[in-house]
């Protein structure tokens, strides 16, 4: 065990997966660049060269189609996109071909990993800062992964590459510098299994990606107020780990879902729906969602700071749900709990 950053863990996970399986190759815009997709693909390029790690033209639909063809012929492509926003132009290939091919062909495997980055900060704006996991999770046949820690970044990437179905792997730029101990050896973290990051008794917070870190900050602050908060890291948003979520709600009787995307029509809404359908009788208060307002992200850095919820909003929602008061989805609420965001991104 030694400490790695989230970015270093992604790099090591990719290299080890490629060492174990000669059918794995990596392609994407800038994967061979000195910056190497923020340092996450350069190690693989230096080790394997451009025969297995290579740059591609900026044509997402064409190259996604090529990846599907390679997968159907026994390869395991890893496609890397610098922004998850532009996977939308590949939706026909992903939703109508890759996801449905096993169903339409009698079980033919399509082992593809589409690794895409959720951007935020540095004036990313409406077209470069979206978090689109709900759009991909909507389609049966696609799995959607959102690691929140370096350990999971490495293990989930390895497991995703071993999957025989298409996997959308979303990593968040604000997590790249996070550090923790990561095993040196190859390992996998199974898809579809959430994990409790912090145990508590008063309220359950179910979170994904960067919102896990914000939820843990909020929980630490609330502990000083004698509020015991349980934090669940989804890790995989499709499939969802209903069992762990339901067990937590049965214990705490209250639910907050913190999602990186918008408030409406998202993963958070799905979690709330499943909880109210299956363990409604255990709830002592209505579930609440902490997510971005239903408008496009602003470009202005100060406005962006107000747009995205963080630890302050999560803590305020916990207090409100425990005191049965109205929840105000206002970015100014208890903002000091949230750490200052420093670029450059």
Which residues are designated catalytic? Answer: 128
* Residue 335 buriedness (CB in 10 A; 0-12 / 13-18 / 19+): middle
CA dist 245 and 207 (Å) reads 11
Q: Which two tokens stand for residue 20?
A: 């174990």
User: In sequence order, which residues have a C-beta less than 8 Å from that of residue 4 and are 6 or more positions away?
Assistant: 12, 150, 154, 179, 180, 182
- Per DSSP, the three-state class of 193 is coil
| 257 φ, ψ (degrees, to nearest 5) | -115, 125
Q: Which of 13, 12, 114, 110 lies closest to 63, judged by CA?
A: 114
- Of 218, 195, 190, 175, the C-alpha closest to 309 is 218
Which stretches does DSSP call E strand in 6-158?
24-28, 53-54, 76-81, 113-118, 143-145
């Amino acid at each position: 065990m030694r400490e790695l950053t989230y970015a270093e863990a992604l790099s090591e996970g990719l290299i080890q997966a490629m060492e174990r399986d000669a059918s794995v190759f990596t392609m994407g815009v800038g994967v061979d660049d000195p910056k190497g997709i923020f340092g996450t693909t350069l190690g693989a390029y230096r080790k394997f060269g451009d025969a297995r790690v290579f740059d591609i033209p900026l044509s997402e639909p064409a190259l996604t189609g090529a990846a599907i063809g390679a997968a159907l012929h026994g390869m395991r492509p890893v496609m890397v996109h610098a922004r998850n926003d532009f996977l939308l132009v590949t939706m026909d290939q992903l939703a109508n071909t890759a996801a449905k091919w096993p169903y339409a062909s009698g079980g033919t495997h399509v082992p593809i990993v589409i690794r895409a980055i959720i951007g935020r900060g540095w004036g990313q704006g409406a077209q470069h800062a979206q978090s689109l996991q709900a759009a991909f999770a909507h389609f049966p046949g696609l799995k959607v992964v959102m690691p929140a820690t370096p350990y999971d970044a490495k293990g989930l990437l390895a497991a995703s590459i071993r999957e025989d179905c298409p996997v959308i792997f979303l990593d968040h730029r604000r997590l790249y510098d996070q550090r923790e101990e990561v095993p040196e050896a190859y390992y996998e973290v199974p898809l579809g299994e959430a994990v409790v990051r912090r145990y508590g008794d008063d309220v359950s917070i179910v979170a994904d990606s960067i919102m896990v870190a914000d939820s843990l900050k909020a929980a630490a602050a609330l502990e000083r107020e004698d509020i015991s908060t349980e934090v669940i890291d989804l890790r995989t948003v499709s499939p969802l780990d209903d069992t762990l979520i339901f067990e937590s709600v049965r214990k705490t009787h209250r639910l907050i879902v913190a999602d990186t995307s918008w408030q409406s029509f998202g993963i958070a809404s799905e979690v709330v729906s499943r909880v109210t359908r299956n363990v409604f009788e255990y709830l002592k208060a209505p579930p609440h969602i902490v997510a971005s307002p239903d408008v496009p992200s602003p470009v202005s850095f100060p406005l962006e700071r107000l747009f995205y919820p963080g630890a302050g909003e999560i803590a305020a929602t916990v207090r409100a749900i425990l005191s049965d008061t109205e929840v105000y989805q206002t970015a100014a609420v208890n903002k000091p709990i949230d750490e200052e965001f420093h670029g450059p991104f």
